[in-house]
Amino acid sequence: MNICDDASLLLNDLNTAQREAVAAPETHVLVLAGAGSGKTRVLVHRIAWLLQCQLARANHILAVTFTNRAANEMRDRIQKLLGYNPSGLLTGTFHGIAYYLLRQHWQLAQLPETFQILDSDEQLRLIKRIIKEAKIDDKVFSPKKIQQFINACKEKAQRAQSVVLMSTDRETQAALTVYQFYEQTCQQSGLVDFTELLLKTYELLRDDESLRKHYQTRFKHILVDEFQDTNYLQYEWLKLIAGPAAKLFIVGDDDQSIYSWRGARIENIQLLPVEFKETLLIRLEQNYRSTKMILTAANAVIRNNKNRLGKELWTNGTEGDPLFLYKAHNEINEAEFIVHKIKLLGKDYHNNAILYRTSSQSRVLEEALIDQQIPYRIYGGMRFYERAEIKDVLAYLRLAVYSDDDAAFERIINTPKRGIGERTIEPIRALARQQGISLWRASRLLLADNGFKGRAAKTITEFLHYIESLIEQTHTLLLSDLIKKIIETCGLPDFYLKDNKEEGQRRIENLAELISAARQFEIFNRDEEKPILTFLAHATLDANNDNANETNHVQLMTLHLAKGLEFKRVFLCGLEEGLFPHQNSLDEGNVEEERRLCYVGITRAREQLYLSHAETRYYYGERSYSRASRFIREIPAELIDHIRFNNAPNYQANVKNKNEKFAIGTPVLHHKFGRGIIVDKEGQGEFTRIQVDFSENDCKWIILAYSDIELL
């Protein structure tokens, strides 16, 4: 038995299409992987196949994913499948691999060896500073919009000097001015934002023929996951590193392309077979997640999209329940129905997910869950490394390893409060601008020239001496011990407790967890030559809340956050025209992406799917009628079971009974406005409203169906 005979064992537990993909010849391959079709399995087995068949050595393979979690999972599964760790195999996110390349070639990239990654919040902070220095009115020119402009330019591989303005309005011109100053500041401070990681490596490979050929020779097989989510820069970056010889193995699903609003281009996956000739197209259509009913509904909806490569999901699994559809009176009634159903279905709350189009929909759902004492969690909350207290400590660490880091300097110069205000900081900025140096160096020069007076001189001196002591300790202390030292000596814990004791205690607990994270990092990265730099990069690049505690709670999330997840039971609510599909998408003619989002929502369910819409809903403080979503009409009627909510008839009866009791002249009590007298009444049914004279609080109009007003 030869090597490939041994490798054939890898195919035993795969279906026909998966085997075809894993054992595909050495050509470009596009695997169109439907939801729940085992795409990660195919990627992992393909890499193992290449190694077992000796088609490539480990260091000839590059595997690109979109999240750190996916990259870690891929590495673990490859090792388990092979029985050993393939040394030299490079796997990671686009940004993680770009960071690796820049760290290897920092001199060619014209970066300091200790360059730092600027996260989104710090990038915005720096932009605000530049806006202020350029005397641009930030009330007229939004820093957030300018940040979006800069990142959008970079994603198109456009430097400030190469941007051709399509508009000459003042805001766009101001954004370009800030972009120019922003580039200069980042260059002199050794700062690299997320998009810059990719742009810098793209330019490096584009402009340095020797380096480009080196990596094009090294990487003979390049595998990319979630390809439908790539943007222009990522695709161009990929083409450069692939060159004319590397074989691409692309996995993606054009039916799940839902991130155009953050730069993803569905055209990348649709045009790949055109751009890369002789691309083998393989469809993974067998689904291992959902019932036949759910898949038939998903296929029926997505079939209405015209621009797609096309596939039909199927399963050998059970027929399953029909889709349950509930027509609610309003959003409150919709929430009551969902929570009532969850309660009836038992206490395995973790098997339930409530999905919605916009985050604002969660309010009434949360209130209903709280009312019924059902535990829940809003999925996608603040991540560990995004928390302010973590960023504060890491800023001290960053300044200790690279004192020219202006973003870190700005963040902690007066955190905790040291009495260093804008009047003290502004001369530092002015000198830094004038001489083209960092804020740290400008501070030292001003001190040497007696540029600070009185208390300011003392405080700045103490701050610089403190950072210098940390710089010395970077050479003697372990990473975790250095972080612990910073926490114990920088004054942040007392600062947090002084501000708010309860919140401060929570923050201190998070800082303790940061020390634990650093210790764990040390254990798993014992051979790392520059552990502090790598840990800082890890903290900034980490895009997953992987360590969230698993508890028995209902999960609430937007449809965009649901991608990649699955649940036994899904409640897909708010299926109304203008809400889902969203009005903005309808106005922009982008209903196909909304339909793909619906397809994603439907295919999150394994066993049961509940759909709901409301006849009326509050928008911007006003109640309006809603039409059922077109996506409901696109599901074959025979798949849907219209259900009633037992409390619904009582709801209408209660409204009518309540309305009749509240007559003009009746005294009432409101929980917020106090006692009053009804002076007017209008409307019918759930739209009945009364005008109440609350004396001190004036007259208020109140809708009876949605208030807790009582008769006296």
What's the rounded Cα separation, in Å, for the pair 445 and 451? 8
498/492 Cα distance (integer angstroms): 10
Structure tokens at 603: 């295919």
Q: Was 23 annotated as part of a binding site?
A: no
Pairing label, strands 191-193, 116-118 = parallel
Q: Could you tell me which of 68, 72, 18 has the C-alpha nearest to residue 43?
A: 18
Q: 40: annotated binding-site residue?
A: yes
Q: For 87-121, b where at least 16 C-beta lie within 10 A, e where not — what string? A: eebbbbbbbbbbbebbbebbeebebeebbbbbbee
Among 119, 155, 196, 226, the active-site one is 226
Determine how many CB atoms are found less than 10 A away from the CB of residue 619: 13
**Looking at 40, 158, 184, 691, which residue is catalytic?**
40
Residues 6+ apart with CB under 8 A from 261: none
- Per residue, the 3-state secondary structure of 129-141, as one string, reads HHHHHCCCCCCCC
Four-point Cα dihedral 84, 85, 90, 95, nearest 10: 120
Outline where 500-552 has alpha helix (H).
501-524, 531-541
| Nearest of 30, 5, 26 to residue 17 by alpha carbon | 30
User: What b/e sequence results for 589-615 when a residue is b if at least 16 CB atoms lie within 10 Å of its CB, and e otherwise?
Assistant: eebbbbbbbbbbbbbbbbbbbbbbbbb
- To the query of whether residue 404 is one of the catalytic residues in this protein, the response is no
Catalytic annotation present for 256: yes
Strand boundaries in 573-646, DSSP class E: 605-614, 616-619, 622-625, 640-642
36 known ligand binder: yes
Please tell me the distance from the alpha carbon of residue 567 to that of residue 73, in angstroms, as a whole number. 20
- For helices 143-155 and 232-242, the axis angle rounded to 10 degrees is 30
Kindly tell me the sign of the dihedral angle through the C-alpha atoms of 357, 358, 364, 367. positive
For this structure, is 617 an active site residue? no
Q: Is 197 helix (H, G, I), strand (E, B) or coil?
A: helix
* The one catalytic residue among 119, 225, 336, 594: 225
Q: Is 33 flagged in the annotation as binding?
A: yes
Q: Which of 75, 391, 484, 604 is catalytic?
A: 604
Six-digit token string for 235: 């695709």
226 given a catalytic annotation = yes
Q: Is 35 annotated as a binding residue?
A: yes
Yes or no: say if 269 and 257 are a contact pair by the CB < 8 Å rule.
yes
517, 507 Cβ separation under 8 angstroms: no
Of these residues, 19, 39, 200, 311, which one is catalytic?
39
Alpha-carbon distances, residue 369 vs 43, 337, 384, 614 (angstroms):
40, 11, 26, 18
On whether the CB atoms of residues 533 and 474 are closer than 8 A, the answer is no
Q: Please state, in angstroms and rounded to a whole number, the distance separating the CA atoms of residues 546 and 72.
A: 11
Q: Is 225 a catalytic residue?
A: yes
CA distance 217 to 450: 57
Q: Which residues pair with 641 in a beta bridge?
A: 324
| Residues near 541 by beta carbon (within 8 Å), at least 6 away in sequence | 68, 93, 95, 96, 99, 117
Q: How far apart are CA 10 and CA 4, in angstroms?
A: 10
Closest of 276, 292, 286 to residue 312, by C-alpha: 286
Contact 431, 449 (CB under 8 A): no
Active site residue 187: no
Rounded CA gap, 290 and 567, in Å?
Answer: 10
38 has binding-site annotation: yes
**Would you say 519 and 477 are in contact if contact means Cβ atoms under 8 Å apart?**
no
Query: Binding site, residues?
Result: 33-40
Q: Which positions are annotated as active-site residues?
A: 39-40, 225-226, 256, 604
Query: Binding site for ATP, residues?
Result: 33-40
